[in-house]
Structure formats: structure tokens, C-alpha cells
Amino acid sequence: MGSDNQHKIGILGSGKGSNFLAIQNSIRSGYLPASVEIVLSDVENAGILTIAQDHHIPHHFVNPGRFRSRLDESAEAECIRLLRESGVYWVVLAGFMRVLKGAFLEAFADRIVNIHPSLLPSFPGLHAWEQALDYRVKYTGVTVHLVDRGVDTGTILAQHPVPVMDDDTSLTLHQRIQQAEWQLYPRVLKNLVTGRYSVRGRNAVLKEDHFQA
Amino acid sequence: MGSDNQHKIGILGSGKGSNFLAIQNSIRSGYLPASVEIVLSDVENAGILTIAQDHHIPHHFVNPGRFRSRLDESAEAECIRLLRESGVYWVVLAGFMRVLKGAFLEAFADRIVNIHPSLLPSFPGLHAWEQALDYRVKYTGVTVHLVDRGVDTGTILAQHPVPVMDDDTSLTLHQRIQQAEWQLYPRVLKNLVTGRYSVRGRNAVLKEDHFQA
């Protein structure tokens, strides 16, 4: 770390973009010393691209190709090219619904961050809040982690618990988890872009604050 | 439920008995309207038997037999007999290190309670706090659940999250989790013995309080 582009973020998302909006609002309020340089989506009419447009941030639809759960080779190459040209250090997944493969992981090794709507390792994969409801846990939560070759298995940067209420529906629980996401993601990104994380293998710890005389 | 022995508890434990002591203290303080009628252990010199003796509670060492991870048939039958004779409704596992099998589960169906030192379904089985440390989660916790045929898979009654600190050792994390256990177990047992839980399959919910005019 310590690169001079460490504050530059690229975002990948497939949906409405509520986490991107939370990040962007944290930047505009001065809380998060970062800048979103580019937003990419595999969904042509995704809300996240509209938000990028409203905020005058470069944004692109990248045709994902013939696969359902990942990008094909040319889409992956296109994403890598666009992110590199934009000069970003961090690739931040914000509701991106495809698994990233080898070439992408190598291009941005240990610089891809994801947020997952459960306390991993419980409930990896899709619709984690529905998995939690079906299992009838009393607490689920939110996990921010680095992305590795597994599905939601990478080094954990931060977590936050969220209670499950007896009368929760999929909708009410998902909303409560999302509100926790909008708090946690900007907080973790602030620690990342300011170089406060020390990551060794699975062990990601926050360095002590340095006090100046 | 609604039986007239619903406040009577039998305890099974293999170790020091700190959860049993927390339960017993909650009873003596008047918080938990229950009584521990009997304490059984598969370990002859277990601290939990000494605590029972100090509190003048009937207690027995039951020779577990030839297996390492479960009771043999005669030991299981002996436990069932002793628990039945003591008139208990609830069987409360407090650091009991053996898996209970069919005959026992049938004898006390849906009336066996366990406390597990993680937020299940993460980290079932032995040394859950070490599993959590190795995985480097930022939150783990405590789960109280009914016992079924699986290992730590039964219906969840309550959970409580516990933070993992960057400088935690196995010892410091285990102590923090145990302190959460000593809070949570008496609270759940209070709701159980007063009939406040409604359990249907995996779904255990607390009934609304009834207000009287």
C-alpha cells in the first residue's frame, strides 16, 4: 500500500446502487477521503449507472457475455482496461452479482472489496438474508471482505451484527441489513484508503493510531 | 408445555460448571424461577459436581462407558433413569462434551437445551472460539438452542454477538464468550420455564406478554 492513487475507487454494481450512493454521500460530506473515478455495471439499465450520471462520474455498461454468473473473457478484459485507465487503486463491489475470476483477481490482487449481507462464514452466496430467515437465527449481519477465488470466503475486514426480529419478513430484514451496510461500508473504506489496515493472509487488523507530539 | 414440573431442571456437564453456577446464582437471586433437581457428569472429578455438592443439590458421576464422544447404552439409560426419578422437565447441557443419541433425545424430546460458544450456524463442534479466531471473524457469539440429532443444528432459542478483538488470544476470546454465556443462559431459561417460548419446528418465538386488567 502507500500508493499515491490509494484514494481512487472504482465501483462495480448490478442493481440500484444504494451502497454506491452511501459511499458517494460519505465522500461529499467529507467523511471519506476518496473519489469514485468510475462506475461499471453488467446491467444496462441498472440504477447504479443513473446515480453515477447524476453525480457526473464516468460510468459504463459492460456487456457481460454469454454466462449467467460470471463475466466472459472479453467483458472481464474490458472491465480491467477501464478500471486501469481510470487510475483506481481499489475495486469496490456494490451489489455486483457476478463472481470475478482469475484474470480480474490477479489484475487487482488484494484490492477488491465486497460487502456481504450476513455474518460470514454463515450464509455465503445469494439471498443471504433469506437463508438467515429460513435458518431462524436471532442475529445475522454484514461482512466487508477482500475478494478471493472462493464465494464470500476472503479475508474479513469488518463485520457488524444485525438482529432478526420474530416478525421479520424478507423485506424488513433486508432493509435492516442494508441500513447496516450503508454505515459499515464507508467506515471500512475510510480505513482502507487511509492505509490503516494491515493485512497478512486472513488477518486484517487496524493499525494503532499514531499520535504526533 | 404447561406441565407442573416445568420449573424443574436437570443439568449435564463435563467441566468446571461455570454455566451451572451462573444458573444456580440466578435462581438464588430470585431472577430465575426454577430449581436444579439433579446434576450429572460423565467426568468423575468434574468441578460441576463439586459445585452441586456445595449447593446441596443431588449429583452423580455416570460412567460414560467405552466411547469417547458419546455415552454407551447403559450410561444413557442410567442418565435417563436418574433424570426421570428427579422429576425434571428440562435437561440443560452446561459444558457437556458428549453427543446425545436417539434414546435420550426421545426421552426428553424438545426439552434438551444447549449453549454453544459461537453464532451458529458458524463454527459448530468443538473449540468454536478457536475456529472463530482461525477464521478471523470480527464477531462471534453465543447460541442457546434445542438439541436435535445433529451437532449444534437444533432450533435456535436465542443468540448474542460477541466482538473479536485484534489482539485476542484463545483465552481472552473464550473468557469474553463465557461472560456472554453466563448472561444469556439464565435469561433463556427464564423464558423457557415460564412458558414464554412458542416453538414450531425451527421457529422459536417469544410470546407477547399478557397484561392483566
For B99-109, write each residue's pLDDT tens digit.
998 899 999 99
pLDDT tens sequence across A162-181:
999 999 999 999 999 999 99
Q: At CA A8, angle to CA A105 and CA A200, rounded to 5?
A: 50
Percentage with pLDDT > 70 across chain A: 96
Burial (Cβ within 10 Å: 0-12, 13-18, ≥19) of residue B72:
middle
pLDDT tens sequence across B125-178:
999 999 999 999 999 999 999 999 999 999 999 999 999 999 999 999 999 999
- The reply to whether omega before B161 is within 30° of 0 (cis) is no
Is B188 in contact with B113 (CB distance < 8 Å)? yes
Q: What b/e readout covers B191-210, taking b as 16+ CB neighbours within 10 angstroms?
A: bbbeebbeeeebebeeeeee
Residue A213 pLDDT: 43
- pLDDT above 70 for B211: no
Q: How many angstroms separate the CA atoms of B163 and B132, rounded?
A: 11
Residue A211 pLDDT: 56
pLDDT tens sequence across B2-16:
568 999 999 999 999
- So what's the architecture of B8-119+142-161+182-210 in CATH? 3-Layer(aba) Sandwich (3.40)
Say if A138 is an interface residue toward chain B (CB within 8 Å). Answer: yes
Residue A14 pLDDT: 97
pLDDT tens sequence across B3-58:
689 999 999 999 999 999 999 999 999 999 999 999 999 999 999 999 999 999 99
* pLDDT top residue among A153 and A4: A153
Say if A109 is an interface residue toward chain B (CB within 8 Å). Answer: no
The chain B residue lying nearest A198, using CA atoms, is B166
CB atoms within 10 A of CB A72: 14
- pLDDT above 90 for A130: yes
pTM reported for the whole predicted model: 0.91
Which residues of B are known to be catalytic?
A: 116
Helices marked H in chain B: 18-28, 47-54, 73-86, 102-107, 128-135, 170-193
Q: How many angstroms separate the CA atoms of A18 and B81, rounded?
A: 59
Say if A158 is an interface residue toward chain B (CB within 8 Å). Answer: yes
Say if B122 is an interface residue toward chain A (CB within 8 Å). Answer: yes
Domain residues of chain B, as ranges? 8-119+142-161+182-210
The distance from CA B63 to its chain's CA centroid, rounded to whole angstroms, is: 20
Instruction: Note whether B161 contacts A161, CB cutoff 8 Å.
Output: yes
pLDDT tens sequence across B68-109:
999 999 999 999 999 999 999 999 999 999 999 889 999 999
| A154–chain B nearest CA distance, Å | 10
Expressed in angstroms, the distance from the first to the final Cα of chain A is: 25
3-state secondary structure of B183: helix
Residue B208 pLDDT: 76
Average pLDDT in chain B: 95
Residue A208 pLDDT: 76
Mean pLDDT throughout A31-57? 98
pLDDT tens sequence across A71-94:
999 999 999 999 999 999 999 999
The chain A residue lying nearest B159, using CA atoms, is A138
Instruction: Note whether A137 contacts B156, CB cutoff 8 Å.
Output: yes
Residue A1 pLDDT: 45
Average pLDDT in chain A: 95
Instruction: Note whether A139 contacts B120, CB cutoff 8 Å.
Output: no
Instruction: Note whether A119 contacts B122, CB cutoff 8 Å.
Output: yes
pLDDT tens sequence across A139-152:
999 999 999 999 99
